[in-house]
Amino acid sequence: MNIIFATGNKHKLQEAQQILGPSFSLKTSAECGITEDIPETADTLKGNAIQKAMYIWDRLHVNCFADDTGLEIDALDGAPGVYSARYAGEKCSFQDNIEKVLKELEGVPAPRTARFRCVIALVIDGDVTTFDGFVEGEITLEPRGNGGFGYDPIFKPQGYTQCFSELSPEEKNAISHRGMAMSLLSKHLNSLK
């Protein structure tokens, strides 16, 4: 099945292709000619995921899905949450976001509990279905490791001594928020075959 993943993030595309397997041919929205930033102006992860997937559907009328992810830190009352991508400002880097989180958490003792949440919105023939995933963990005192992206260097999943950035892609996918939501998506897509 051909399906568009509304993302410009190559890490996410690789993760998704690994989970969905070879019977699904994934393309990014950019590969299908959508080169502008897709709007995400909702105030919930679910709202943003649906907004992004419906944007592609409205433009191309092809089956597609989009995800939205947030990092919820308990000591920051759930921030950055739905604002995780631009926590340190418009056009900020992953590094800027990490520095801001560590600064906001200065003086907060371990464990600085947090979770990643992910919502995937799938549009098949114009109908939307959503899938949720989450992973509990904590924010480390400093960044570690070189793998992954985003907040991976400061997120240590529960029950692990390593951060996401220190796990292999397979290990991360097996326990991650997006891995969980993608597995549900995969089961659903396979049930439609």
Residues that are catalytic:
68
Q: Does 151 bind ligand IMP (CB under 6 A)?
A: yes
Backbone angles phi, psi at 25, to 5 degrees: -100, 105
Q: Does 72 bind ligand IMP (CB under 6 A)?
A: no
Closest CA to 177 of 164, 160, 191: 164
Question: What letter would DSSP give residue 133?
Answer: E
Stretch of 31-39, 53-61, 103-111, 146-154 lying at the interface with ligand IMP (CB under 6 A):
146-154
In the complex, which residue's CB is closest to ligand IMP? 150
Please report how close the Cβ of residue 33 comes to ligand IMP at its closest, in angstroms: 21
Stretch of 22-30, 62-70, 107-115, 126-134 lying at the interface with ligand IMP (CB under 6 A):
62-70
Q: Does 152 bind ligand IMP (CB under 6 A)?
A: yes
CA atoms within a 13 Å half-sphere pointing along the CA-CB vector of 49? 26
Q: Can you give the binding site for ligand IMP, defined by CB under 6 A?
A: 9, 67-69, 71, 84-85, 94, 97, 148-152, 164, 176, 178
